[in-house]
Structure 1
Amino acid sequence: MPELPELDPIIHGKLRLALLSLLSSVNEAEFSWLRQKTGSTDGNLGAHLLKLEEAGYVAVKKRFIARKPVTHYRMTERGRTALVGYVQALRQLLGDALES
């Protein structure tokens, strides 16, 4: 039996995979946009974004606009590389099942 590829446990979570997928298609995204796109709660979204930030997969920029805090996230090169690797490992794992 061939050796199975290892899936990155940081990305493997459903919400974290969704966040990286969303961030891969934009330069940066505001927290509220990510919340709306994922349907997540503030707390859950914040916890998962923190995990991605700690892994170096996303970068965070916080600022104030009209005295209101606004947080933007962007995918880092490390995050992009990790996501590409994750997708490749998933394709390898699924193999011929993707061809059907």
Structure 2
Amino acid sequence: MNHPRLALDSVIHSPIRFSITAALAAVDEADFKSVRDAVEISDSVLSKQVSTLEAAGYVAVRKVFVGKRPRTYLSLTPSGRKAWDAHVRALRQIAG
């Protein structure tokens, strides 16, 4: 018998990364500032956690300039959405 906790994704399971992933799962793409504000963390914390998610292949980072100002946009990759769905499904089975 396999307990659903075995399906939890260790990258997503961290509370901050879980919150970031949840925010991105609700949209196609979000700017860095919006995610920072939604998750209520500092720029440096978001940057570090996004790097972890990006290294896992779960988040894509797109940098552009709007006029002379740099803007960073974040989105879940297809594998990030798949991992998110599986993680949430496992949580629901545990709670269920």
TM-score normalised to the size of structure 2? 0.91
Q: What is residue 34 of structure 1 aligned with on the other side? A: 35
2:57 partner letter: G
Q: How many residues align?
A: 94
Aligned: 1:69 with 2:70: yes
Structure number with the bigger relative contact order (C-alpha 8 A, sep ≥ 6) is 2
Q: Which runs of 5+ in 2 are unaligned?
A: none
How many angstroms apart in 1 are the aligned matches of 2:16 and 2:74?
15
Quote the RMSD (CA, aligned, Å). Answer: 1.1
Partner-residue secondary structure (3-state), 1:56: coil
Task: Kindly report which structure 2 residues correspond to 1:7-86, keeping only aligned pairs within 5 A, or say none.
Answer: 7-86=8-87
TM-score normalised to the size of structure 1? 0.87
How many angstroms apart in 1 are the aligned matches of 2:73 and 2:19?
16
Deviation digits for residues 52-84 of structure 1 (CA, Å, limit 9, x no counterpart): 111111111101112111000111110110011
How many angstroms apart in 2 are the aligned matches of 1:37 and 1:87?
19
Shift of 1:4: 1.9
Q: Which runs of 5+ in 1 are unaligned?
A: 96-100
- The structure with the largest alpha-carbon Rg is 1
Identity rate, percent: 38
1:4 partner letter: H
Partner-residue secondary structure (3-state), 1:26: coil
